[in-house]
Protein backbone atom coordinates (compact mmCIF):
# COMPACT_ATOMS: atom_id res chain seq x y z
CA UNK A 1 0.00 0.00 0.00
CA UNK A 2 1.57 3.26 -1.12
CA UNK A 3 1.93 5.81 1.65
CA UNK A 4 -0.26 8.87 1.15
CA UNK A 5 0.98 12.37 1.63
CA UNK A 6 -1.10 14.07 4.35
CA UNK A 7 -1.53 17.75 5.01
CA UNK A 8 -1.41 19.08 8.56
CA UNK A 9 -5.02 19.01 9.78
CA UNK A 10 -5.26 22.64 10.86
CA UNK A 11 -3.74 23.80 7.59
CA UNK A 12 -6.17 21.65 5.59
CA UNK A 13 -9.07 23.36 7.36
CA UNK A 14 -7.60 26.80 6.73
CA UNK A 15 -7.50 26.05 3.00
CA UNK A 16 -10.68 24.01 2.51
CA UNK A 17 -14.25 23.59 3.63
CA UNK A 18 -15.15 19.99 4.53
CA UNK A 19 -18.41 18.48 3.29
CA UNK A 20 -19.40 15.01 4.46
CA UNK A 21 -22.25 12.65 3.67
CA UNK A 22 -23.09 9.49 5.57
CA UNK A 23 -24.78 6.27 4.55
CA UNK A 24 -25.57 4.00 7.43
CA UNK A 25 -26.71 0.41 6.98
CA UNK A 26 -28.72 -1.00 9.85
CA UNK A 27 -29.30 -4.74 9.99
CA UNK A 28 -32.74 -5.45 11.44
CA UNK A 29 -33.13 -8.13 14.10
CA UNK A 30 -36.28 -9.69 12.68
CA UNK A 31 -36.73 -13.41 13.38
CA UNK A 32 -36.66 -14.21 9.67
CA UNK A 33 -35.10 -12.75 6.53
CA UNK A 34 -36.48 -9.96 4.34
CA UNK A 35 -38.13 -12.08 1.65
CA UNK A 36 -38.18 -15.66 2.96
CA UNK A 37 -38.75 -17.61 6.16
CA UNK A 38 -35.10 -18.45 6.87
CA UNK A 39 -33.77 -17.68 10.35
CA UNK A 40 -32.02 -14.34 10.71
CA UNK A 41 -29.33 -15.25 13.23
CA UNK A 42 -25.69 -14.19 13.58
CA UNK A 43 -23.08 -16.88 14.10
CA UNK A 44 -24.96 -19.99 12.96
CA UNK A 45 -23.12 -22.75 11.05
CA UNK A 46 -22.43 -21.40 7.53
CA UNK A 47 -25.08 -22.00 4.87
CA UNK A 48 -27.61 -23.51 7.24
CA UNK A 49 -30.13 -20.64 7.09
CA UNK A 50 -30.78 -20.80 3.36
CA UNK A 51 -33.64 -21.74 1.08
CA UNK A 52 -34.50 -21.57 -2.65
CA UNK A 53 -35.55 -17.90 -2.27
CA UNK A 54 -32.43 -16.46 -0.65
CA UNK A 55 -30.05 -18.48 -2.81
CA UNK A 56 -32.20 -17.65 -5.83
CA UNK A 57 -33.09 -20.97 -7.32
CA UNK A 58 -35.14 -20.62 -10.51
CA UNK A 59 -38.82 -20.04 -9.91
CA UNK A 60 -38.53 -19.17 -6.21
CA UNK A 61 -40.86 -16.32 -5.24
CA UNK A 62 -40.15 -13.78 -2.48
CA UNK A 63 -42.65 -12.26 -0.04
CA UNK A 64 -42.02 -9.14 2.08
CA UNK A 65 -41.41 -9.53 5.82
CA UNK A 66 -44.09 -7.50 7.60
CA UNK A 67 -42.02 -6.91 10.73
CA UNK A 68 -39.14 -5.58 8.63
CA UNK A 69 -41.51 -3.08 7.02
CA UNK A 70 -42.80 -1.99 10.43
CA UNK A 71 -39.25 -1.65 11.79
CA UNK A 72 -38.28 0.46 8.77
CA UNK A 73 -41.27 2.73 9.28
CA UNK A 74 -40.38 3.11 12.96
CA UNK A 75 -36.82 4.10 12.05
CA UNK A 76 -38.18 6.61 9.52
CA UNK A 77 -40.54 8.10 12.10
CA UNK A 78 -37.82 8.31 14.75
CA UNK A 79 -35.77 10.31 12.23
CA UNK A 80 -38.66 12.68 11.64
CA UNK A 81 -39.22 11.39 8.09
CA UNK A 82 -42.35 11.33 5.99
CA UNK A 83 -43.52 7.80 5.25
CA UNK A 84 -44.38 6.89 1.66
CA UNK A 85 -47.95 5.62 1.29
CA UNK A 86 -46.83 3.50 -1.61
CA UNK A 87 -43.40 2.08 -2.36
CA UNK A 88 -42.12 -0.46 -4.81
CA UNK A 89 -39.05 -2.61 -4.53
CA UNK A 90 -36.56 -2.55 -7.38
CA UNK A 91 -33.87 -4.85 -8.68
CA UNK A 92 -30.37 -3.38 -8.48
CA UNK A 93 -28.42 -5.48 -10.95
CA UNK A 94 -24.82 -6.38 -10.38
CA UNK A 95 -22.76 -9.53 -10.07
CA UNK A 96 -20.94 -10.49 -6.94
CA UNK A 97 -20.18 -13.99 -5.63
CA UNK A 98 -22.05 -13.36 -2.36
CA UNK A 99 -25.17 -12.25 -4.23
CA UNK A 100 -26.62 -15.40 -5.72
CA UNK A 101 -29.51 -13.60 -7.42
CA UNK A 102 -27.19 -11.34 -9.45
CA UNK A 103 -29.32 -8.47 -8.24
CA UNK A 104 -30.11 -6.95 -4.88
CA UNK A 105 -33.74 -6.35 -4.04
CA UNK A 106 -33.77 -2.77 -2.82
CA UNK A 107 -35.82 0.39 -2.97
CA UNK A 108 -34.74 2.92 -5.55
CA UNK A 109 -36.85 5.97 -6.39
CA UNK A 110 -39.58 5.14 -3.87
CA UNK A 111 -37.94 4.83 -0.42
CA UNK A 112 -40.23 4.02 2.49
CA UNK A 113 -39.08 7.12 4.44
CA UNK A 114 -37.69 10.47 3.33
CA UNK A 115 -37.04 14.09 4.38
CA UNK A 116 -36.05 13.70 8.00
CA UNK A 117 -33.47 15.18 10.33
CA UNK A 118 -31.43 14.21 13.32
CA UNK A 119 -29.91 16.56 15.88
CA UNK A 120 -26.62 15.37 17.31
CA UNK A 121 -24.40 16.72 20.05
CA UNK A 122 -20.62 16.63 19.62
CA UNK A 123 -18.01 15.95 22.33
CA UNK A 124 -17.32 19.71 22.47
CA UNK A 125 -20.98 20.34 23.31
CA UNK A 126 -21.80 21.94 19.93
CA UNK A 127 -25.03 20.80 18.33
CA UNK A 128 -25.69 20.04 14.65
CA UNK A 129 -28.82 19.09 12.78
CA UNK A 130 -28.16 16.57 10.03
CA UNK A 131 -30.68 16.42 7.18
CA UNK A 132 -31.80 12.92 6.23
CA UNK A 133 -32.56 12.44 2.57
CA UNK A 134 -34.04 8.96 2.76
CA UNK A 135 -34.22 5.64 4.55
CA UNK A 136 -34.92 2.67 2.35
CA UNK A 137 -35.32 -1.08 2.74
CA UNK A 138 -33.04 -3.60 1.10
CA UNK A 139 -31.46 -6.98 1.71
CA UNK A 140 -27.95 -7.85 2.82
CA UNK A 141 -25.60 -9.97 0.72
CA UNK A 142 -23.85 -13.13 1.92
CA UNK A 143 -20.43 -13.08 3.52
CA UNK A 144 -17.16 -13.87 1.78
CA UNK A 145 -14.16 -15.09 3.74
CA UNK A 146 -10.85 -14.93 1.88
CA UNK A 147 -8.38 -17.59 2.96
CA UNK A 148 -4.61 -17.67 2.60
CA UNK A 149 -3.75 -13.97 2.38
CA UNK A 150 -2.18 -12.08 5.24
CA UNK A 151 -4.77 -9.31 5.42
CA UNK A 152 -8.04 -11.24 5.09
CA UNK A 153 -8.72 -9.34 1.89
CA UNK A 154 -9.05 -10.94 -1.51
CA UNK A 155 -5.61 -9.72 -2.61
CA UNK A 156 -3.15 -12.53 -1.98
CA UNK A 157 -5.84 -15.01 -0.94
CA UNK A 158 -5.69 -18.59 -2.26
CA UNK A 159 -9.42 -19.18 -2.21
CA UNK A 160 -12.63 -17.71 -0.84
CA UNK A 161 -15.54 -19.19 1.10
CA UNK A 162 -19.08 -17.92 0.85
CA UNK A 163 -21.73 -18.10 3.56
CA UNK A 164 -25.26 -17.27 2.43
CA UNK A 165 -26.74 -17.11 5.93
CA UNK A 166 -26.64 -13.32 5.74
CA UNK A 167 -28.03 -13.20 2.19
CA UNK A 168 -31.48 -11.69 2.43
CA UNK A 169 -31.16 -10.31 5.97
CA UNK A 170 -33.23 -7.10 6.13
CA UNK A 171 -31.33 -3.83 6.00
CA UNK A 172 -32.38 -0.23 6.26
CA UNK A 173 -30.02 2.20 4.56
CA UNK A 174 -30.17 5.74 5.93
CA UNK A 175 -28.70 8.42 3.67
CA UNK A 176 -27.97 12.01 4.71
CA UNK A 177 -27.93 15.08 2.53
CA UNK A 178 -24.51 16.78 2.31
CA UNK A 179 -23.50 17.99 5.77
CA UNK A 180 -21.85 21.41 5.89
CA UNK A 181 -20.49 23.61 8.59
CA UNK A 182 -18.88 21.17 11.02
CA UNK A 183 -15.41 22.53 10.20
CA UNK A 184 -12.67 20.89 12.24
CA UNK A 185 -15.30 18.79 13.99
CA UNK A 186 -16.46 16.97 10.84
CA UNK A 187 -14.86 13.67 12.00
CA UNK A 188 -16.51 13.98 15.43
CA UNK A 189 -19.83 14.86 13.80
CA UNK A 190 -19.67 11.74 11.62
CA UNK A 191 -19.07 9.54 14.66
CA UNK A 192 -21.69 11.32 16.79
CA UNK A 193 -24.26 10.92 14.02
CA UNK A 194 -23.67 7.17 13.77
CA UNK A 195 -23.77 6.92 17.57
CA UNK A 196 -27.18 8.60 17.56
CA UNK A 197 -28.49 6.31 14.80
CA UNK A 198 -27.31 3.38 16.85
CA UNK A 199 -29.05 4.69 19.98
CA UNK A 200 -32.25 5.16 18.01
CA UNK A 201 -32.39 1.67 16.49
CA UNK A 202 -31.40 0.12 19.82
CA UNK A 203 -34.04 2.17 21.61
CA UNK A 204 -36.61 1.01 19.06
CA UNK A 205 -35.48 -2.57 19.57
CA UNK A 206 -35.31 -3.12 15.81
CA UNK A 207 -31.59 -3.95 15.61
CA UNK A 208 -28.98 -5.46 17.89
CA UNK A 209 -26.89 -2.46 16.77
CA UNK A 210 -23.57 -4.16 17.46
CA UNK A 211 -21.05 -2.49 15.23
CA UNK A 212 -18.40 -5.17 15.74
CA UNK A 213 -20.85 -7.66 14.23
CA UNK A 214 -21.67 -5.40 11.33
CA UNK A 215 -25.23 -4.69 12.53
CA UNK A 216 -24.50 -1.00 11.94
CA UNK A 217 -22.03 -0.05 9.19
CA UNK A 218 -21.16 3.35 7.85
CA UNK A 219 -20.00 4.56 4.45
CA UNK A 220 -18.44 7.99 4.89
CA UNK A 221 -18.34 10.41 1.97
CA UNK A 222 -15.82 13.22 2.22
CA UNK A 223 -15.12 16.08 -0.17
CA UNK A 224 -13.27 19.36 0.12
CA UNK A 225 -13.76 22.68 -1.63
CA UNK A 226 -11.96 26.01 -1.33
CA UNK A 227 -13.75 28.33 1.13
CA UNK A 228 -16.35 30.38 -0.72
CA UNK A 229 -16.67 28.00 -3.68
CA UNK A 230 -20.20 26.83 -4.30
CA UNK A 231 -19.54 23.76 -6.41
CA UNK A 232 -18.93 20.65 -4.32
CA UNK A 233 -15.53 19.02 -4.62
CA UNK A 234 -15.05 15.46 -5.83
CA UNK A 235 -15.87 13.00 -3.07
CA UNK A 236 -14.55 9.67 -1.95
CA UNK A 237 -16.63 7.06 -0.15
CA UNK A 238 -14.91 5.06 2.56
CA UNK A 239 -16.91 1.83 2.84
CA UNK A 240 -18.15 -0.27 5.72
CA UNK A 241 -16.38 1.42 8.59
CA UNK A 242 -17.48 -0.52 11.64
CA UNK A 243 -16.54 1.36 14.78
CA UNK A 244 -17.16 4.91 15.92
CA UNK A 245 -13.47 5.49 16.47
CA UNK A 246 -12.67 4.26 12.95
CA UNK A 247 -15.29 6.55 11.43
CA UNK A 248 -13.71 9.53 13.11
CA UNK A 249 -10.21 8.49 12.07
CA UNK A 250 -11.19 7.65 8.48
CA UNK A 251 -12.88 11.03 7.91
CA UNK A 252 -9.90 12.87 9.38
CA UNK A 253 -7.53 10.87 7.20
CA UNK A 254 -9.49 11.61 4.03
CA UNK A 255 -9.52 15.33 4.83
CA UNK A 256 -5.75 15.36 5.22
CA UNK A 257 -5.12 13.15 2.19
CA UNK A 258 -7.41 15.07 -0.16
CA UNK A 259 -6.07 18.44 1.03
CA UNK A 260 -2.50 17.39 0.22
CA UNK A 261 -3.54 16.34 -3.30
CA UNK A 262 -5.66 19.42 -3.99
CA UNK A 263 -2.91 21.75 -2.77
CA UNK A 264 -0.59 20.20 -5.37
CA UNK A 265 -3.21 20.65 -8.07
CA UNK A 266 -3.90 16.91 -8.30
CA UNK A 267 -7.54 15.97 -8.94
CA UNK A 268 -9.35 13.72 -6.45
CA UNK A 269 -10.43 10.41 -7.97
CA UNK A 270 -14.08 9.68 -7.31
CA UNK A 271 -13.86 6.20 -5.83
CA UNK A 272 -14.69 3.96 -2.94
CA UNK A 273 -11.97 3.51 -0.34
CA UNK A 274 -11.23 0.97 2.37
CA UNK A 275 -10.28 1.86 5.93
CA UNK A 276 -7.39 -0.07 7.48
CA UNK A 277 -7.61 0.16 11.25
CA UNK A 278 -4.10 -1.27 11.76
CA UNK A 279 -2.40 1.20 9.44
CA UNK A 280 -4.70 4.11 10.28
CA UNK A 281 -5.11 4.79 6.57
CA UNK A 282 -7.53 4.42 3.67
CA UNK A 283 -6.68 2.79 0.34
CA UNK A 284 -8.32 2.99 -3.06
CA UNK A 285 -11.19 0.62 -3.82
CA UNK A 286 -13.06 0.85 -7.09
CA UNK A 287 -13.86 3.93 -9.19
CA UNK A 288 -17.39 5.13 -8.57
CA UNK A 289 -19.18 7.57 -10.84
CA UNK A 290 -22.47 9.26 -9.99
CA UNK A 291 -23.94 7.54 -13.02
CA UNK A 292 -23.25 3.94 -11.96
CA UNK A 293 -25.79 2.09 -14.02
CA UNK A 294 -27.34 -0.75 -12.08
CA UNK A 295 -30.21 -1.15 -14.57
CA UNK A 296 -32.71 -0.64 -11.78
CA UNK A 297 -36.18 -1.83 -12.65
CA UNK A 298 -39.29 -2.47 -10.58
CA UNK A 299 -39.32 -5.89 -8.91
CA UNK A 300 -42.09 -7.79 -10.67
CA UNK A 301 -42.37 -10.54 -8.02
CA UNK A 302 -43.33 -8.26 -5.11
CA UNK A 303 -46.45 -6.18 -4.60
CA UNK A 304 -45.86 -2.54 -3.60
CA UNK A 305 -45.63 -1.77 0.12
CA UNK A 306 -48.64 0.34 1.12
CA UNK A 307 -48.66 1.02 4.86
CA UNK A 308 -52.03 2.27 6.11
CA UNK A 309 -52.33 5.55 8.04
CA UNK A 310 -53.49 3.54 11.05
CA UNK A 311 -50.37 1.38 10.99
CA UNK A 312 -48.11 4.42 10.71
CA UNK A 313 -49.87 6.21 13.56
CA UNK A 314 -49.81 3.15 15.79
CA UNK A 315 -46.05 2.86 15.22
CA UNK A 316 -45.59 6.57 15.87
CA UNK A 317 -47.41 6.20 19.18
CA UNK A 318 -44.92 3.52 20.24
CA UNK A 319 -41.74 5.54 19.56
CA UNK A 320 -39.38 5.64 22.55
CA UNK A 321 -37.98 8.91 23.86
CA UNK A 322 -35.47 10.66 21.61
CA UNK A 323 -31.76 10.18 22.40
CA UNK A 324 -31.36 13.87 23.27
CA UNK A 325 -34.32 13.73 25.68
CA UNK A 326 -33.06 10.55 27.24
CA UNK A 327 -29.66 12.13 27.87
CA UNK A 328 -31.21 15.12 29.59
CA UNK A 329 -33.34 12.85 31.73
CA UNK A 330 -30.60 10.44 32.85
CA UNK A 331 -28.09 13.21 33.50
CA UNK A 332 -30.60 14.81 35.86
CA UNK A 333 -31.45 11.48 37.50
CA UNK A 334 -27.80 10.57 38.04
CA UNK A 335 -26.71 14.05 39.06
CA UNK A 336 -23.62 14.03 36.85
CA UNK A 337 -21.78 17.28 36.15
CA UNK A 338 -21.68 18.26 32.46
CA UNK A 339 -18.08 17.14 32.03
CA UNK A 340 -18.67 13.83 33.77
CA UNK A 341 -21.71 13.21 31.63
CA UNK A 342 -19.94 14.12 28.39
CA UNK A 343 -17.18 11.61 29.21
CA UNK A 344 -19.84 8.95 29.66
CA UNK A 345 -21.54 9.78 26.35
CA UNK A 346 -18.28 9.95 24.44
CA UNK A 347 -17.20 6.61 25.83
CA UNK A 348 -20.57 5.25 24.68
CA UNK A 349 -21.40 4.08 28.19
CA UNK A 350 -24.97 5.33 28.70
CA UNK A 351 -26.53 1.87 28.39
CA UNK A 352 -23.93 0.25 30.63
CA UNK A 353 -24.31 2.84 33.37
CA UNK A 354 -28.08 2.74 33.15
CA UNK A 355 -27.99 -1.04 33.54
CA UNK A 356 -25.54 -0.79 36.43
CA UNK A 357 -27.64 1.80 38.25
CA UNK A 358 -30.80 -0.25 37.68
CA UNK A 359 -29.01 -3.21 39.24
CA UNK A 360 -28.55 -1.18 42.42
CA UNK A 361 -25.25 0.71 42.12
CA UNK A 362 -24.97 4.38 43.04
CA UNK A 363 -24.67 6.43 39.82
CA UNK A 364 -21.26 7.86 40.73
CA UNK A 365 -19.91 4.42 41.60
CA UNK A 366 -21.21 3.06 38.29
CA UNK A 367 -19.58 5.94 36.44
CA UNK A 368 -16.24 5.49 38.20
CA UNK A 369 -16.04 1.77 37.47
CA UNK A 370 -16.93 2.12 33.81
CA UNK A 371 -14.91 5.22 32.92
CA UNK A 372 -12.06 4.30 35.27
CA UNK A 373 -10.86 0.76 35.85
CA UNK A 374 -12.91 -0.90 33.09
CA UNK A 375 -11.91 1.71 30.51
CA UNK A 376 -8.28 1.25 31.57
CA UNK A 377 -8.48 -2.53 31.14
CA UNK A 378 -10.19 -2.18 27.75
CA UNK A 379 -7.56 0.29 26.64
CA UNK A 380 -4.73 -2.03 27.67
CA UNK A 381 -6.35 -4.77 25.55
CA UNK A 382 -6.88 -2.37 22.65
CA UNK A 383 -10.63 -2.85 22.92
CA UNK A 384 -13.64 -0.67 23.28
CA UNK A 385 -14.87 -0.66 26.88
CA UNK A 386 -18.31 -1.75 25.63
CA UNK A 387 -16.74 -4.93 24.26
CA UNK A 388 -15.68 -6.17 27.70
CA UNK A 389 -17.50 -9.31 28.80
CA UNK A 390 -19.15 -7.92 31.91
CA UNK A 391 -22.73 -7.00 32.68
CA UNK A 392 -23.99 -3.94 34.50
CA UNK A 393 -25.38 -6.27 37.16
CA UNK A 394 -21.89 -7.60 37.95
CA UNK A 395 -20.42 -4.11 38.12
CA UNK A 396 -23.23 -3.15 40.51
CA UNK A 397 -22.51 -6.20 42.66
CA UNK A 398 -18.83 -5.26 42.81
CA UNK A 399 -19.65 -1.68 43.80
CA UNK A 400 -21.97 -2.94 46.51
CA UNK A 401 -19.30 -5.26 47.93
CA UNK A 402 -16.98 -2.24 48.18
CA UNK A 403 -19.71 -0.13 49.81
CA UNK A 404 -20.38 -2.85 52.35
CA UNK A 405 -16.68 -2.89 53.26
CA UNK A 406 -16.28 -6.48 52.09
CA UNK A 407 -13.77 -5.48 49.41
CA UNK A 408 -11.19 -2.74 49.41
CA UNK A 409 -10.17 -1.08 46.14
CA UNK A 410 -7.28 -3.40 45.51
CA UNK A 411 -9.31 -6.55 46.11
CA UNK A 412 -12.16 -5.20 44.01
CA UNK A 413 -9.81 -4.70 41.09
CA UNK A 414 -8.51 -8.23 41.54
CA UNK A 415 -12.05 -9.63 41.64
CA UNK A 416 -12.81 -7.67 38.48
CA UNK A 417 -10.05 -9.41 36.53
CA UNK A 418 -11.55 -12.79 37.52
CA UNK A 419 -15.03 -11.63 36.49
CA UNK A 420 -13.64 -10.64 33.09
CA UNK A 421 -12.03 -14.08 32.86
CA UNK A 422 -15.51 -15.56 33.13
CA UNK A 423 -15.14 -17.04 36.62
CA UNK A 424 -18.61 -15.91 37.70
CA UNK A 425 -20.20 -13.08 39.60
CA UNK A 426 -18.16 -10.92 42.02
CA UNK A 427 -19.85 -12.48 45.07
CA UNK A 428 -19.20 -16.00 43.76
CA UNK A 429 -15.54 -15.17 43.13
CA UNK A 430 -15.11 -13.59 46.58
CA UNK A 431 -16.54 -16.77 48.13
CA UNK A 432 -14.61 -19.21 45.92
CA UNK A 433 -11.26 -17.48 46.27
CA UNK A 434 -11.65 -16.22 49.83
CA UNK A 435 -10.92 -12.66 48.81
CA UNK A 436 -13.02 -10.83 51.37
CA UNK A 437 -11.43 -8.04 53.39
CA UNK A 438 -10.37 -9.33 56.79
CA UNK A 439 -12.58 -7.40 59.18
CA UNK A 440 -11.82 -9.64 62.12
CA UNK A 441 -9.87 -7.34 64.47
CA UNK A 442 -8.28 -10.34 66.19
CA UNK A 443 -6.53 -11.40 62.98
CA UNK A 444 -5.45 -7.83 62.29
CA UNK A 445 -4.08 -7.32 65.81
CA UNK A 446 -2.10 -10.54 65.55
CA UNK A 447 -0.57 -9.33 62.29
CA UNK A 448 0.16 -5.90 63.82
CA UNK A 449 1.90 -7.53 66.80
CA UNK A 450 4.00 -9.64 64.45
CA UNK A 451 5.03 -6.55 62.49
CA UNK A 452 5.78 -4.58 65.67
CA UNK A 453 8.03 -7.37 66.93
CA UNK A 454 10.33 -6.55 64.02
CA UNK A 455 9.95 -2.75 64.36
CA UNK A 456 9.66 -2.12 68.11
CA UNK A 457 10.39 1.65 67.86
CA UNK A 458 7.28 2.39 65.86
CA UNK A 459 4.93 2.71 68.86
CA UNK A 460 7.18 5.37 70.44
CA UNK A 461 7.34 7.24 67.16
CA UNK A 462 3.54 7.29 66.88
CA UNK A 463 3.20 8.51 70.46
CA UNK A 464 5.59 11.33 69.58
CA UNK A 465 3.32 12.25 66.68
CA UNK A 466 5.57 10.97 63.89
CA UNK A 467 2.75 9.27 62.01
CA UNK A 468 4.83 8.47 58.94
CA UNK A 469 6.48 5.75 61.03
CA UNK A 470 3.13 3.91 61.02
CA UNK A 471 3.41 3.36 57.28
CA UNK A 472 6.01 0.63 57.57
CA UNK A 473 3.85 -1.41 59.97
CA UNK A 474 0.68 -0.92 57.92
CA UNK A 475 2.61 -2.00 54.81
CA UNK A 476 3.94 -5.10 56.57
CA UNK A 477 0.42 -6.02 57.78
CA UNK A 478 -1.07 -5.56 54.30
CA UNK A 479 1.66 -7.76 52.88
CA UNK A 480 1.17 -10.42 55.52
CA UNK A 481 -2.59 -10.41 54.85
CA UNK A 482 -1.97 -10.52 51.08
CA UNK A 483 -3.78 -7.24 50.59
CA UNK A 484 -7.02 -8.42 52.11
CA UNK A 485 -6.87 -6.08 55.11
CA UNK A 486 -8.60 -2.75 55.34
CA UNK A 487 -5.64 -0.36 55.63
CA UNK A 488 -7.76 2.26 57.39
CA UNK A 489 -8.74 -0.20 60.11
CA UNK A 490 -5.13 -1.36 60.55
CA UNK A 491 -4.10 2.24 61.09
CA UNK A 492 -6.84 2.78 63.68
CA UNK A 493 -5.88 -0.34 65.58
CA UNK A 494 -2.20 0.64 65.54
CA UNK A 495 -2.93 4.10 66.96
CA UNK A 496 -5.19 2.61 69.64
CA UNK A 497 -2.37 0.30 70.60
CA UNK A 498 0.19 3.14 70.77
CA UNK A 499 -2.09 5.24 72.97
CA UNK A 500 -3.02 2.34 75.25
CA UNK A 501 0.48 1.13 76.00
The residue (of 36 and 402) whose beta carbon lies closer to Zn ion is 36
Among candidate residues 312, 342, 73, the one with its CA nearest the CA of residue 201: 73
- State the nearest-atom distance from the C-beta of 113 to Zn ion, in Å: 26
The residue (of 32 and 331) whose beta carbon lies closer to Zn ion is 32
The residue (of 100 and 445) whose beta carbon lies closer to Zn ion is 100
- State the nearest-atom distance from the C-beta of 166 to Zn ion, in Å: 11
Task: Show Cβ contacts of residue 286 under 8 Å, excluding neighbours closer than 6 positions.
Answer: 271, 272
Task: Show Cβ contacts of residue 136 under 8 Å, excluding neighbours closer than 6 positions.
Answer: 72, 106, 107, 108, 111, 112, 113, 172, 173, 175
- State the nearest-atom distance from the C-beta of 298 to Zn ion, in Å: 22
Q: How many of the chain's residues bind Zn ion (CB under 5 A)?
A: 5
- State the nearest-atom distance from the C-beta of 49 to Zn ion, in Å: 7
Among candidate residues 44, 328, 15, the one with its CA nearest the CA of residue 169: 44
The residue (of 50 and 262) whose beta carbon lies closer to Zn ion is 50
- Stretches 33-41, 124-132, 279-287, 452-460: which one binds Zn ion (CB under 5 A)? 33-41
φ, ψ (nearest 5 deg) of residue 479: -65, -45
Among candidate residues 337, 390, 325, 324, the one with its CA nearest the CA of residue 363: 337
Q: Write out the DSSP string of 227-269.
A: TT--SPPP-EEEEEE-SHHHHHHHHHHHHHHHHHHHHTTPPPP
**DSSP label of 301:** T
Q: Which 46-75 positions form the footprint of Zn ion (CB under 5 A)? A: 51, 53-54
Q: Write out the DSSP string of 165-180.
A: GGTT-EEEEEEEPPB-
The residue (of 166 and 252) whose beta carbon lies closer to Zn ion is 166
Q: Which of 7, 26, 34, 38 binds Zn ion (CB under 5 A)?
A: 38
- State the nearest-atom distance from the C-beta of 45 to Zn ion, in Å: 15
Where residue 6 falls (left for φ over 0; alpha for ψ -120 to 50; beta otherwise) is beta
- State the nearest-atom distance from the C-beta of 168 to Zn ion, in Å: 6
- State the nearest-atom distance from the C-beta of 107 to Zn ion, in Å: 20
The residue (of 139 and 199) whose beta carbon lies closer to Zn ion is 139
Strands 271-276 and 236-241: parallel
- Stretches 35-43, 128-136, 182-190, 354-362: which one binds Zn ion (CB under 5 A)? 35-43
- State the nearest-atom distance from the C-beta of 169 to Zn ion, in Å: 10
The residue (of 53 and 447) whose beta carbon lies closer to Zn ion is 53
The residue (of 51 and 232) whose beta carbon lies closer to Zn ion is 51
Our finding on whether 99 is near Zn ion (CB under 5 A) is no
Q: How far apart are CA 153 and CA 127, in angstroms?
A: 38
Q: Which 140-179 positions form the footprint of Zn ion (CB under 5 A)? A: none
Give the residues lining the site for Zn ion (CB under 5 A): 36, 38, 51, 53-54
Amino acid sequence: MAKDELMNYEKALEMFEVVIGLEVHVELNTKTKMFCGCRNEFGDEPNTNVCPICIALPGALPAVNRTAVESSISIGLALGCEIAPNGRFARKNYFYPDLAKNFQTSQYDEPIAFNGELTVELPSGSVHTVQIERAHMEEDAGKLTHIGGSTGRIQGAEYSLVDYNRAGVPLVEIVTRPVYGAGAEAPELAAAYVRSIREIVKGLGVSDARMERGNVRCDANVSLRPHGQEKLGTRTETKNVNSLRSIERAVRYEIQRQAALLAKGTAIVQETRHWHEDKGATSAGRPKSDADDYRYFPEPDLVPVQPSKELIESLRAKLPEKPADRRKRVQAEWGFADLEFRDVVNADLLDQIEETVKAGAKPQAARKWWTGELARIANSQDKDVTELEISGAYVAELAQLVDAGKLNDRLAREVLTYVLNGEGSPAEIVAARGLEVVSDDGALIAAIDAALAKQPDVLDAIREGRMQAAGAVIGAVMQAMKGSADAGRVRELLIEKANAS
